[in-house]
Amino acid sequence: MTHILLEKKGPVAIATVNRPKALNALNSEVLTDLDALIDAIQADETIRVLILTGSGEKAFVAGADIAEMARLSKAEAEAFGKHGNDVFRRLEQLAIPVIAAVNGYALGGGCELSMACDVRICSDTAVFGQPETGLGITPGFGGTQRLARLVGAGMAKQLIFSARNIKADEALRIGLVNAVYPPEELMPAAEKLAETIAKNAPIAVRASKKAINDGLEVPMDEAIVIEENLFGGCFETYDQQEGMGAFLEKRRHEPFQNR
Protein backbone atom coordinates (compact mmCIF):
# COMPACT_ATOMS: atom_id res chain seq x y z
CA MET A 1 0.00 0.00 0.00
CA THR A 2 1.73 3.16 -1.24
CA HIS A 3 -0.57 5.71 0.39
CA ILE A 4 -1.83 3.89 3.50
CA LEU A 5 0.18 3.39 6.69
CA LEU A 6 -0.97 0.50 8.89
CA GLU A 7 -0.06 0.08 12.55
CA LYS A 8 -1.27 -2.52 15.04
CA LYS A 9 -1.66 -1.97 18.77
CA GLY A 10 -2.87 -5.28 20.10
CA PRO A 11 -6.39 -5.88 18.77
CA VAL A 12 -6.63 -2.32 17.38
CA ALA A 13 -5.40 -1.40 13.90
CA ILE A 14 -4.71 2.22 12.93
CA ALA A 15 -4.74 3.05 9.20
CA THR A 16 -3.53 6.46 8.06
CA VAL A 17 -4.18 7.88 4.60
CA ASN A 18 -0.72 9.20 3.80
CA ARG A 19 -0.70 11.69 0.96
CA PRO A 20 -0.12 14.89 2.92
CA LYS A 21 1.12 17.10 0.07
CA ALA A 22 -2.26 16.61 -1.62
CA LEU A 23 -4.13 16.87 1.73
CA ASN A 24 -4.68 13.10 1.47
CA ALA A 25 -6.97 13.53 -1.54
CA LEU A 26 -8.50 10.37 -2.96
CA ASN A 27 -7.26 9.36 -6.38
CA SER A 28 -7.48 5.95 -8.02
CA GLU A 29 -4.27 4.79 -6.31
CA VAL A 30 -5.56 5.69 -2.84
CA LEU A 31 -8.85 3.92 -3.53
CA THR A 32 -6.92 0.82 -4.60
CA ASP A 33 -4.83 1.05 -1.42
CA LEU A 34 -7.99 1.31 0.69
CA ASP A 35 -9.26 -1.83 -1.02
CA ALA A 36 -5.98 -3.57 -0.15
CA LEU A 37 -6.28 -2.31 3.43
CA ILE A 38 -9.67 -3.99 3.75
CA ASP A 39 -8.16 -7.24 2.45
CA ALA A 40 -5.39 -7.00 5.06
CA ILE A 41 -7.84 -6.34 7.90
CA GLN A 42 -10.07 -9.23 6.85
CA ALA A 43 -7.07 -11.58 6.74
CA ASP A 44 -6.03 -10.82 10.34
CA GLU A 45 -8.45 -12.37 12.82
CA THR A 46 -6.66 -10.73 15.76
CA ILE A 47 -7.85 -7.25 14.74
CA ARG A 48 -11.09 -6.31 16.51
CA VAL A 49 -11.37 -2.58 15.72
CA LEU A 50 -10.01 -0.35 12.95
CA ILE A 51 -9.26 3.37 13.33
CA LEU A 52 -9.01 5.38 10.11
CA THR A 53 -7.35 8.82 10.04
CA GLY A 54 -5.30 11.13 7.80
CA SER A 55 -1.65 12.14 7.94
CA GLY A 56 -0.59 15.66 8.85
CA GLU A 57 -2.44 18.31 10.82
CA LYS A 58 -4.60 19.82 8.07
CA ALA A 59 -6.69 17.07 6.58
CA PHE A 60 -8.40 13.77 7.17
CA VAL A 61 -9.11 13.49 3.45
CA ALA A 62 -9.67 16.81 1.69
CA GLY A 63 -11.73 15.23 -1.08
CA ALA A 64 -11.44 13.30 -4.29
CA ASP A 65 -8.59 14.34 -6.56
CA ILE A 66 -10.09 17.04 -8.81
CA ALA A 67 -7.03 17.06 -11.06
CA GLU A 68 -7.75 13.42 -11.89
CA MET A 69 -11.49 13.95 -12.29
CA ALA A 70 -11.54 17.15 -14.34
CA ARG A 71 -11.13 15.56 -17.77
CA LEU A 72 -13.17 12.40 -17.25
CA SER A 73 -15.80 11.41 -19.79
CA LYS A 74 -19.27 10.36 -18.65
CA ALA A 75 -18.32 6.69 -18.80
CA GLU A 76 -14.99 7.29 -17.05
CA ALA A 77 -16.71 9.33 -14.32
CA GLU A 78 -19.23 6.56 -13.73
CA ALA A 79 -16.39 4.04 -13.47
CA PHE A 80 -14.51 6.30 -11.03
CA GLY A 81 -17.67 6.69 -8.93
CA LYS A 82 -18.18 2.92 -8.96
CA HIS A 83 -14.59 2.35 -7.85
CA GLY A 84 -15.08 4.65 -4.86
CA ASN A 85 -18.52 3.28 -4.03
CA ASP A 86 -17.34 -0.33 -4.20
CA VAL A 87 -14.44 0.38 -1.83
CA PHE A 88 -16.52 2.43 0.60
CA ARG A 89 -19.24 -0.22 0.61
CA ARG A 90 -16.65 -2.87 1.49
CA LEU A 91 -15.44 -0.64 4.34
CA GLU A 92 -19.00 -0.12 5.54
CA GLN A 93 -19.64 -3.88 5.49
CA LEU A 94 -16.35 -4.80 7.18
CA ALA A 95 -17.26 -7.18 9.99
CA ILE A 96 -15.42 -5.24 12.70
CA PRO A 97 -16.20 -1.69 13.87
CA VAL A 98 -14.43 1.18 12.09
CA ILE A 99 -13.81 4.51 13.82
CA ALA A 100 -13.06 7.60 11.71
CA ALA A 101 -10.74 9.96 13.60
CA VAL A 102 -11.25 13.11 11.54
CA ASN A 103 -8.28 15.37 12.14
CA GLY A 104 -8.97 18.19 9.67
CA TYR A 105 -10.68 18.73 6.33
CA ALA A 106 -13.19 16.02 5.42
CA LEU A 107 -14.69 17.38 2.24
CA GLY A 108 -16.39 15.63 -0.66
CA GLY A 109 -14.88 12.16 -0.87
CA GLY A 110 -13.33 12.67 2.56
CA CYS A 111 -16.70 13.32 4.17
CA GLU A 112 -18.07 10.33 2.26
CA LEU A 113 -15.20 8.14 3.51
CA SER A 114 -15.89 9.15 7.10
CA MET A 115 -19.58 8.33 6.65
CA ALA A 116 -18.71 4.80 5.50
CA CYS A 117 -17.21 4.26 8.97
CA ASP A 118 -19.32 3.19 11.94
CA VAL A 119 -18.38 5.99 14.33
CA ARG A 120 -17.00 9.46 13.60
CA ILE A 121 -15.10 11.55 16.13
CA CYS A 122 -13.19 14.67 15.17
CA SER A 123 -10.83 17.41 16.27
CA ASP A 124 -12.20 20.89 16.86
CA THR A 125 -10.30 21.95 13.73
CA ALA A 126 -12.24 19.54 11.50
CA VAL A 127 -14.33 20.84 8.61
CA PHE A 128 -16.98 18.77 6.84
CA GLY A 129 -18.82 19.36 3.60
CA GLN A 130 -20.08 18.11 0.27
CA PRO A 131 -18.95 20.92 -2.05
CA GLU A 132 -19.64 19.07 -5.29
CA THR A 133 -22.53 21.17 -6.61
CA GLY A 134 -20.17 24.15 -6.57
CA LEU A 135 -18.00 22.20 -9.00
CA GLY A 136 -20.83 21.23 -11.30
CA ILE A 137 -21.23 17.64 -10.12
CA THR A 138 -23.07 15.61 -7.49
CA PRO A 139 -21.43 13.70 -4.65
CA GLY A 140 -20.23 10.47 -6.22
CA PHE A 141 -19.02 8.17 -3.43
CA GLY A 142 -22.30 7.68 -1.55
CA GLY A 143 -22.70 11.19 -0.15
CA THR A 144 -26.30 11.68 -1.28
CA GLN A 145 -27.26 8.42 0.40
CA ARG A 146 -25.28 8.17 3.64
CA LEU A 147 -25.59 11.85 4.60
CA ALA A 148 -29.38 11.67 4.36
CA ARG A 149 -29.42 8.54 6.49
CA LEU A 150 -27.19 10.10 9.14
CA VAL A 151 -28.58 13.63 9.51
CA GLY A 152 -31.98 13.41 7.80
CA ALA A 153 -33.02 14.25 4.27
CA GLY A 154 -33.72 17.94 4.91
CA MET A 155 -30.33 18.72 6.44
CA ALA A 156 -28.53 16.59 3.83
CA LYS A 157 -30.27 18.45 1.01
CA GLN A 158 -29.39 21.80 2.56
CA LEU A 159 -25.71 20.90 2.88
CA ILE A 160 -25.43 19.34 -0.57
CA PHE A 161 -27.50 21.95 -2.43
CA SER A 162 -25.62 24.85 -0.80
CA ALA A 163 -22.15 23.22 -1.05
CA ARG A 164 -21.50 24.81 2.35
CA ASN A 165 -18.78 23.55 4.67
CA ILE A 166 -19.50 23.17 8.38
CA LYS A 167 -17.19 23.20 11.38
CA ALA A 168 -16.88 20.55 14.05
CA ASP A 169 -19.40 22.08 16.45
CA GLU A 170 -22.15 22.10 13.81
CA ALA A 171 -21.24 18.58 12.70
CA LEU A 172 -21.77 17.51 16.32
CA ARG A 173 -25.05 19.39 16.59
CA ILE A 174 -26.59 17.73 13.53
CA GLY A 175 -25.34 14.27 14.47
CA LEU A 176 -22.69 13.85 11.80
CA VAL A 177 -20.04 13.19 14.46
CA ASN A 178 -20.26 11.61 17.91
CA ALA A 179 -17.73 13.77 19.75
CA VAL A 180 -15.26 16.64 19.30
CA TYR A 181 -11.80 16.85 20.89
CA PRO A 182 -8.81 19.20 20.89
CA PRO A 183 -6.38 17.99 18.19
CA GLU A 184 -3.89 16.51 20.64
CA GLU A 185 -6.65 14.47 22.32
CA LEU A 186 -8.25 13.04 19.16
CA MET A 187 -6.12 9.93 18.62
CA PRO A 188 -5.92 9.05 22.34
CA ALA A 189 -9.72 9.30 22.45
CA ALA A 190 -10.06 7.14 19.32
CA GLU A 191 -7.71 4.53 20.75
CA LYS A 192 -9.50 4.53 24.12
CA LEU A 193 -12.85 3.97 22.40
CA ALA A 194 -11.35 1.23 20.20
CA GLU A 195 -9.83 -0.50 23.23
CA THR A 196 -13.16 -0.34 25.07
CA ILE A 197 -14.91 -1.98 22.11
CA ALA A 198 -12.13 -4.55 21.68
CA LYS A 199 -12.59 -5.77 25.28
CA ASN A 200 -16.17 -6.82 24.59
CA ALA A 201 -17.11 -10.13 23.01
CA PRO A 202 -15.95 -9.85 19.36
CA ILE A 203 -18.64 -12.14 17.95
CA ALA A 204 -21.33 -10.12 19.72
CA VAL A 205 -19.86 -6.81 18.52
CA ARG A 206 -19.71 -8.04 14.93
CA ALA A 207 -23.24 -9.43 15.16
CA SER A 208 -24.50 -6.12 16.56
CA LYS A 209 -22.92 -4.21 13.67
CA LYS A 210 -24.47 -6.58 11.15
CA ALA A 211 -27.88 -6.36 12.83
CA ILE A 212 -27.84 -2.55 12.71
CA ASN A 213 -26.53 -2.27 9.15
CA ASP A 214 -28.71 -4.98 7.65
CA GLY A 215 -31.77 -3.94 9.65
CA LEU A 216 -31.64 -0.38 8.37
CA GLU A 217 -32.05 -1.67 4.82
CA VAL A 218 -35.35 -3.51 5.37
CA PRO A 219 -38.77 -2.93 6.98
CA MET A 220 -39.03 -3.35 10.76
CA ASP A 221 -40.75 -6.74 10.61
CA GLU A 222 -37.82 -8.12 8.62
CA ALA A 223 -35.26 -6.25 10.71
CA ILE A 224 -36.28 -7.84 13.98
CA VAL A 225 -35.94 -11.30 12.41
CA ILE A 226 -32.36 -10.39 11.48
CA GLU A 227 -31.76 -9.41 15.10
CA GLU A 228 -33.40 -12.58 16.44
CA ASN A 229 -31.17 -14.80 14.29
CA LEU A 230 -27.97 -13.00 15.26
CA PHE A 231 -29.03 -12.92 18.92
CA GLY A 232 -29.65 -16.67 18.86
CA GLY A 233 -26.33 -17.34 17.19
CA CYS A 234 -24.47 -15.82 20.13
CA PHE A 235 -25.76 -18.64 22.35
CA GLU A 236 -23.53 -21.11 20.51
CA THR A 237 -20.37 -19.28 21.59
CA TYR A 238 -17.88 -19.74 24.41
CA ASP A 239 -17.88 -15.99 25.00
CA GLN A 240 -21.61 -15.98 25.77
CA GLN A 241 -21.17 -18.81 28.26
CA GLU A 242 -18.25 -17.05 29.95
CA GLY A 243 -19.90 -13.62 29.95
CA MET A 244 -23.20 -14.77 31.42
CA GLY A 245 -21.50 -17.26 33.73
CA ALA A 246 -19.30 -14.53 35.18
CA PHE A 247 -22.32 -12.28 35.69
CA LEU A 248 -24.25 -14.97 37.55
CA GLU A 249 -21.20 -15.89 39.63
CA LYS A 250 -20.55 -12.22 40.44
CA ARG A 251 -16.99 -12.28 39.12
CA ARG A 252 -15.04 -10.47 36.42
CA HIS A 253 -15.23 -12.36 33.15
CA GLU A 254 -12.10 -13.83 31.62
CA PRO A 255 -10.84 -12.19 28.40
CA PHE A 256 -13.19 -13.03 25.55
CA GLN A 257 -11.81 -15.63 23.14
CA ASN A 258 -13.65 -14.71 19.91
CA ARG A 259 -15.18 -18.17 19.82
Do 188 and 223 fall within a single domain?
no
Residue 67 reports pLDDT greater than 90: no
pLDDT value, residue 65: 84
Please tell me the pTM assigned to this model.
0.96
**Residue 253 is assigned to a structural domain of this protein:** no
CATH of the domain at 238: 1.10.12.10
**Residue 259 is assigned to a structural domain of this protein:** no
Residues 6+ apart with CB under 8 A from 201: 234, 237, 239, 240, 243, 256, 258
pLDDT tens digits along 218-232: 999 999 999 999 999
Exposure on the CB side of residue 255, measured as CA atoms within 13 A: 6
Do 16 and 139 fall within a single domain?
yes
CATH of the domain at 88: 3.90.226.10
**Into how many domains does the chain fold?**
2
Do 40 and 22 fall within a single domain?
yes
**Residue 129 is assigned to a structural domain of this protein:** yes
Do 66 and 126 fall within a single domain?
yes
Do 139 and 223 fall within a single domain?
no
Do 39 and 118 fall within a single domain?
yes
- The confidence band for 150, taking pLDDT boundaries of 50, 70 and 90, is very high
Average pLDDT over residues 65-71: 88
Average pLDDT, the chain: 97
**Residue 74 is assigned to a structural domain of this protein:** yes
Please give the residue range of the domain that contains residue 207. Answer: 202-248
Average pLDDT over residues 151-170: 98
Do 184 and 207 fall within a single domain?
no
pLDDT value, residue 68: 87
pLDDT value, residue 1: 86
Residue 133 reports pLDDT greater than 90: yes
Nearest to 47 by CA among 84, 10, 19, 83: 10
CB atoms within 10 A of CB 13: 23
Catalytic positions, please?
112, 132
**Residue 82 is assigned to a structural domain of this protein:** yes
Average pLDDT over residues 138-167: 98
